[in-house]
Structure 1
Amino acid sequence: MAVSISAVVLLGIVVFVLIRGGSVRLGPALACMGFGFFLASTAAGPTISDAIGTVTGWISSI
């Protein structure tokens, strides 16, 4: 749980910086956010979550 909250905060900061810097407009950012939200509720959601957990486990063991 702590890893997912940290990832959300980190990705939120990245999106905020990209929007403020003009690299990404608000509309496409909201579209990507909606896509991620609905993707999480599909059958692919747990698989993606497990993959991210595995990667963060590898990184923390280094």
Structure 2
Amino acid sequence: MNVTISVALVTGVVTVVLVWTKRVGIGTALIVWLSGLTAASTGLAGPVNDMLGAIVTAVSHH
């Protein structure tokens, strides 16, 4: 559990730093943050994966 929380926290901090230094935009930061939650296998990983799958499906059908 500690590793999962640490990975999620590190991903969040990295995302904030990237936005603050204007290396990435808000959209990219959101993708980085969501990917970090998925990679960390937090409790949000399932819903995040479902949401990303729905987005990919919606984009591929248009």
TM-score, normalised to structure 2's length?
0.51
Q: Does 1:9 align with 2:20?
A: no
Q: 8 Å contact 2:15–2:33 — kept in the other structure?
A: no
Deviation at 1:28, TM superposition (A): 1.5
Deviates more, 1:29-38 or 1:12-21: 29-38
CA 1:32–1:17: 2 relative to 1, 3 Å: closer
Structure having the higher Rg? 1
Structural RMSD (CA): 2.4
Q: 8 Å contact 2:18–2:24 — kept in the other structure?
A: yes
CA 1:8–1:25: 2 relative to 1, 3 Å: same
Q: Does 1:38 align with 2:49?
A: yes
Consecutive unaligned residues of structure 2, counting only runs of 5 or more, are: 39-47, 54-62
Consecutive unaligned residues of structure 1, counting only runs of 5 or more, are: 43-62
Deviation at 1:6, TM superposition (A): 0.6
Q: Structure 1 segments of 4 or more deviating over 2 A?
A: 31-37
Identity %: 30
TM-score, normalised to structure 1's length?
0.51
**Number of residue pairs the alignment of both structures matches:** 40
CA 1:25–1:9: 2 relative to 1, 3 Å: same
Residue type of the alignment partner of 2:12: G
